[in-house]
A and B are shown apart, each in its own frame.
Chain A
Amino acid sequence: MKRALLFLPLAVFLTLVGYFAVGLTRNPSEIRSALIDRPLPAFDLPVPGNDTARFTTSELRRDVSLLNIFASWCVACRVEHPLLMRLAVERAVPIYGLAWKDKPQDLKDWIAELGDPYTLIGDDASGRTAIDLGVTGAPETFIVDRKGNVRYKHIGPIDDYQWNNTLKPIIDRLRAEP
């Protein structure tokens, strides 16, 4: 019995290796989302700094668009932000923001400091909408087509490479759809 106990570390390690091996086969930035090819769950969120406006799902049906989940407390979002700013300046694609569990003041400061790439921001202070969207962490970015269906989900900050090689081709393809 005591000897068997000496095998315990090995057993634990092998279990972990199993997880690592499976984890390796997944590309962390494209975990299958239950939402792919299905309509974006309906939401109706307040717009920070504008008491009368609302950000609703129907807003996203105007064009193929990005829905970017971000927060001022999220370091990776800060890394991603310059790219979003560039996309906004180039008018590459409309970017909608979902401020996840953020405080209004922090959100305001963040935008003030780094700039606002978003067409519209929804304030999901309770995190309720993020749960509906199956958000695992910030930042995450959904590509939504003109019918309001989720077509792609990207986890983690988008960098130049991923934008050029993954997201942009998908957007171009979706734009070509009727």
Chain B
Amino acid sequence: MIAEIGHFCLIMAFVLSLVQSTVPHVGAWQRNLALMGVGRSAAIAQFVFLGSAFICLGIAFAISDFSVQLVANHSHSDKPMIYKLSGVWGNHEGSMLLWVLILGIFGGAVAIFGRNLPPSLLARTLAVQGLIGAMFIAFILFTSNPFARLDLAPVNGSGLNPLLQDPGLATHPPFLYMGYVGFSIAFSFAIAALIEGKVEPAWARWVRPWTLAAWCFLTMGIMLGSAWAYYELGWGGWWFWDPVENVSLMPWLAGTALIHSAIVVEKRDALKRWTILLAILTFSLSLVGTFLVRSGVVTSVHAFAVDPERGVFILGILIVTTGGALMLYALRAADLKIANLFSPVSREASLVLNNVFLVSITGGVFLGTFISLIARETFGTDVSAGAPVFNFFFVPLMLGLMVFMSLGPILAWKRGNVVAALFRLKLAAVAAAGAGAAAIIMQQEPWSTLAIVISIWLLVGSMTTIMERALPSGRSTEGIAARLSSLPRAMWGTAVAHAGIAITALGIAVSSYNSAETVMKLKPGQSLEIAGYELKLMSVDDEKGANYTSKAARFELREDGRLIDRMLSEKRNYPNPGSETTEAGIRPGFVGTIYVSLGRAYDDGSWAVRAYYHPLITWIWVGCVIMVIGGTLSLSDRRLRVGAPIRARAAQPSARPA
């Protein structure tokens, strides 16, 4: 019964999305407020039905209703409840349902919070959102029905990939989808603006919070995925340039560019066409990601069950969405007037530079991801790009971008002064030089040294505006807290997010070049040495978990003979569906992380033990969290709240640094 209710809700949501995609358009065209208002009601109702459908599927998983095909294929009654629930999106059909649910959440949120938008812009935005929803719900209903029943229900389900039974993996797809799908709002706003034929600074102010929220979620999602790879795959890697990782990185890069170019539209009424194009591209890249994962065009470890029919359907959606948008762009973008010019040395110019870097990197990642497809079909040759190719362009371009990231936020709008700006960055320059000297003394590799210098330059540089405002020259430290808390949240957001990038970059630079690794055959009681620590294998026991058996190896970690930690590394065997996973023992640290994984057993009772020492590796993920905090701070800025009245700035002559 529950599956049928879910199926019914999904059909209702489909019908509502059809209404949402047409009626408000007609209303906006005829200037009929009542018809325009239908968009809001439909969006909210669609969200309610999608939510109900999702809950129904969740219940089917929770009560292990194996008469539902999806539950039978992807769940098992032995599974812990949390993984029964995360199993809802651990498969193609369920993850698509989550995808449209999030689309519905965002659509509903725009309908609820967008009351202050001009009615026609809101109506058109919701209509575009409705069209995207209609296409994806149709995709689910016609090619991937999660509620399909089995004629004969099996006694038990056929389990779930044990690699996926993990908190990191359970939480990372929802975050990723919140990011991917969140960019649909920027897309819908862009299409609505093209239809209306005008982009105003206010438009950017409405779009930015949605984009920023999506960006925060995507950052979090990528971070969780990378952390999962690190601790679950058992060999200490955290990024593989796998096609599916690349397709999450591309919308992130383009979305980062979009957040920045929208600032120029908002503040200076310039870069309008480019921003519209970026909004289209960012969401299109999210769609390309969906297409890639589910069509099998490029092989990847992450690929879902490959089904050409689904690939054709998603390609169709991509053609309608992106093709239609770009066609509209080609026809209408010329109408968007270019309002303001700016000097090559200015805040605007630095944001353009940011976009040039980010878009180049995106293009490089795109080419690297699809080069095998393009080369195969064009030249008949088999080419594939691996990590060296990606690192070759990604590292220099990213470092280049980071050099300018310190400078951008302290340049003035319209016309800046590089010399004055560089002078204000003197502290950053000193710190970077110091870090460089330290790196050279510690005999770092050239690339590592360069990356450390640039990261420190950015870390200190990004705090420059905050420090200047907290301690203006000639003022005492008295009242520093009040001055800090009165700074605009957006300024804090920029500083914190940029510092997050610097911290992630530091983590990458230091851990990539300074990791230690050792492999030893150990009997219980024997120990190995890694990076000055002593790691002693105490025992290896057979243990039984909820739905697996494991060999659990216990270690003691000593520094200078003093016990500092106990570590556990497991090899788990899941009888359903019969596979093995490695659970590495990890002792994360601020300075360095110790990582130990258990290998095979030998006949003489000894075990292969592999241990790593990764300095600063946790900084990679901490930096991502800091970026998200920065984004959230910026999001909480009053100025960005949709519909919030713009606070009069006249009383604060020094609202912006000169």
Q: Which A residues have a C-beta under 8 Å from some C-beta of B? A: 2-3, 6-7, 9-10, 13-14, 16-17, 19-25, 27-29, 31, 75-76, 78-79, 82, 86, 105, 109, 112-115, 134, 136-137, 155-157, 160
Contacts and interface: CB of A to CB of B under 8 A. Distances in A.
25 contacts: A6-B333, A9-B330, A10-B326, A17-B323, A20-B295, A20-B297, A27-B308, A28-B297, A28-B299, A28-B306, A31-B382, A75-B240, A76-B301, A78-B235, A82-B580, A86-B578, A105-B519, A109-B519, A112-B519, A113-B600, A114-B600, A136-B384, A137-B372, A137-B384, A156-B299
A157 B519 contact: no
A2 B384 CA distance: 36
B322 interface: yes
A19 B519 contact: no
Nearest to A82: B579
B373 interface: yes
B242 A75 contact: yes
Interface stretch (B30-38, B212-220, B312-320): B312-320
Given A115-B600, A156-B299, 12 more contacts: A6-B330, A13-B323, A17-B319, A20-B295, A20-B315, A20-B373, A24-B297, A76-B299, A78-B235, A105-B519, A136-B372, A136-B383
B551 to A, nearest CB: 12
The majority secondary structure among interface residues of chain A is helix
Given A75-B301, A113-B608, A3 B334 contact: yes
A10 B327 contact: yes
Contact of A19 (B242, B295, B330, B374): B374
Contact of B301 (A14, A27, A31, A157): A157
Given A27-B296, A112-B519, A19 B370 contact: yes
Interface string B576-620: 011110100000000000000101100000001010000000000
Interface in B528-576: none
B329 A6 contact: yes
Contact of A112 (B242, B277, B334, B599): B599
B364 interface: no
A23 B377 contact: yes
Nearest to A108: B519
B311 interface: yes
A137 B519 contact: no
A23 B281 CA distance: 21
Contacts of A114: 599-600
A13 B308 contact: no
Nearest to B277: A9
B298 A28 contact: yes
A155 B308 contact: no
Contacts, number: 113
B376 interface: yes
B299 A29 contact: yes
A68 to B, nearest CB: 16
Contacts of B580: 82
A169 to B, nearest CB: 19
B512 to A, nearest CB: 15
Contact of A109 (B284, B299, B322, B608): B608
A37 B47 CA distance: 55
Given A9-B277, A29-B299, A20 B600 contact: no
Contacts of A112: 519, 599-600, 608
A36 to B, nearest CB: 14
Interface in B297-350: 297-301, 306, 308, 311-312, 315, 318-319, 322-323, 326-327, 329-331, 333-334
B233 interface: yes
B326 A13 contact: yes
B197 interface: no
B291 interface: yes
Nearest to A8: B330
A160 B73 CA distance: 14
A112 to B, nearest CB: 4
A98 to B, nearest CB: 16
Given A113-B600, A136-B384, A155-B299, A9 B315 contact: no
A25 B306 CA distance: 12
A79 B301 contact: yes
A10 B331 CA distance: 11
Contacts of A17: 315, 318-319, 323
Contacts of A16: 370
Interface in B212-269: 233-235, 237, 240, 242
Given A21-B315, A112-B608, A10 B329 contact: yes
